[in-house]
Structure 1
Amino acid sequence: MQLKFIYIFDALCTWCYGYSPVIKAVQSKYKDKFEFEVLSGGMITGTRTGPVSVVYPNFKEDYKQVEELTGIDFGEAFLHELDKGSMIFDSERPAIALNVFKTVSPSKVFDFIYDLQQSIFYEGKDPNGDDLYRYHAVNFGIDPDEFIYKTHLEQFKQDAYYEFALARQLQVSNYPAAFIQSADNHFFMVARGFATLETMELRIDNVLKEIGS
């Protein structure tokens, strides 16, 4: 099988937001080495969903650490929503949207998740409503009505929950995470939590050397 790079993230994960420039650079550099796949981890689902003030009670302190370590910025619009505390955090809708996007524009998946997290964490957009996904559909040249219609189909909800299950099978509980898959049941973990681009390149190159030998 072709070597596969599996990136497991969650649209509502702040560390994934900070990691997004790194993973885009990795995908760009190694696009000829790997087949790339993005999976949603389902970080906030079921009884864990709720207002950001409840789901992330320490968010106001924690986001500053993300900014300091990753260099990413959280926008004033999002911080305003954070102060209000009422934005609902639920990983289901963005995960469904990702699965729909994969069927219509698979080559631009990394651009989509990057833009999606920018909309949430910088522009303060609601991750649950149709407006956000309609906007991104138009941005990527996709029929917005068709895109929104598909996000409400049971098929894509099931696909999202299948991805959540795959993440659990890979024993991922912290995001972001990344693996190189060299065979059906052979995985090399190359990221568990945030890592710099230099660290990622070192880990990936070491795995490629091991596989090659």
Structure 2
Amino acid sequence: MKPKIIYVYDALCGWCYGFSPVIKSVYERYQDRFDFDVLSGGMMLGSRTGPIEVVAPFIKTAYHTVEEVTGVVFGEGFLREVEKGDMILDSEKPAIGLCVFKSYHPDKAILFAHDIQNCINFDGKGPNDEEIYRLIAVNFGIDPDEFVRKMHEEEFKQAAYYEFALAKQLQVSGYPAAFVQAADNQFYMIAKGFTRLEDLEARIENVWKEITT
């Protein structure tokens, strides 16, 4: 069994959007040596959900910092939505979407996380907008109607909440985070918060040496 790199993110996390190109590069480079999985953290659930203006007005200025540190660009579509302030931030639907996606392509979860964050942070689509999930489904050769139908099934909602619980078990208190899982109870944290590609690769190589020698 290959060791696994587990990426814990939230679709609404700006720093995860900044980290997305990094973890995608790692996926492209290391998929021969590692399996990959993505867990949703559930950053905005229950009483923490609501319009940007109410639950996350800080985004209006915070995105500049993310751009400066990570080099990503937030799109005009997203910035327009931030200015309007009425986009509903809710982590549940993207998490359910990820679980549905993994029922088709469990090995490509990193690509789903990357694409959904682009839809939100570049194109300015709300996380509850089913158009996002249809678009991603089509891009991966999945029937969009079937994909959206599955998102309304209880099984996938429960799977999403199970992932939120797993992220807590891994003691993730902020996003992004990444681990190497070498065995059932053997985890190595390789990213806590935004991490540059060269640093992440160095940590992966160090863990690889440790678990294979």
TM-score band, normalised by the shorter chain? over 0.9
Which residue does 2:90 correspond to in 1? Answer: 90
| Displacement of 1:2 | 2.7
SS in 2 for 1:93: helix
Deviations 1:136-177 (A, max 9, x none): 212221111100100000100000000000000000011010
TM-score normalized by the length of structure 1: 0.97
Identity of aligned residues (%): 61
> Does the aligned pair in 1 maintain the 2:45–2:90 contact within 8 Å?
yes
Give, in whole Å, the separation in 2 of the partners of 1:73 and 1:108.
24
Give, in whole Å, the separation in 1 of the partners of 2:108 and 2:34.
15
| Displacement of 1:114 | 1.0
Q: Which moved more, 1:13-22 or 1:56-65?
A: 56-65
| Displacement of 1:105 | 2.2
Which residue does 1:103 correspond to in 2? Answer: 103
Which residue does 2:164 correspond to in 1? Answer: 164
Which residue does 1:75 correspond to in 2? Answer: 75
Which residue does 1:4 correspond to in 2? Answer: 4
Which residue does 2:66 correspond to in 1? Answer: 66
Which residue does 2:20 correspond to in 1? Answer: 20
Which residue does 1:122 correspond to in 2? Answer: 122
Give, in whole Å, the separation in 1 of the partners of 2:187 and 2:110.
21
Give, in whole Å, the separation in 2 of the partners of 1:45 and 1:36.
25
| Displacement of 1:113 | 1.5
Give, in whole Å, the separation in 2 of the partners of 1:9 and 1:106.
16
Which residue does 1:39 correspond to in 2? Answer: 39
SS in 2 for 1:133: helix
Residue 107 of structure 2 aligns to which amino acid in structure 1?
S
| Displacement of 1:109 | 2.0
Unpaired segments of 5 or more residues in structure 2?
A: none
Identify if the C-alpha distance between structure 1 residues 2 and 105 changes in structure 2 by more than 3 Å, giving closer, same or farther: closer
Unpaired segments of 5 or more residues in structure 1?
A: none
TM-score normalized by the length of structure 2: 0.97
> Does the aligned pair in 1 maintain the 2:36–2:107 contact within 8 Å?
no
The number of residues matched between the two structures is 213
Which 4+ residue blocks in structure 1 deviate beyond 3 angstroms? Answer: none
Which residue does 1:176 correspond to in 2? Answer: 176
Give, in whole Å, the separation in 2 of the partners of 1:212 and 1:133.
39
Give, in whole Å, the separation in 1 of the partners of 2:137 and 2:161.
22
> Does the aligned pair in 1 maintain the 2:35–2:107 contact within 8 Å?
no
Q: Which moved more, 1:135-144 or 1:8-17?
A: 135-144
Which residue does 2:206 correspond to in 1? Answer: 206
| Displacement of 1:12 | 0.5
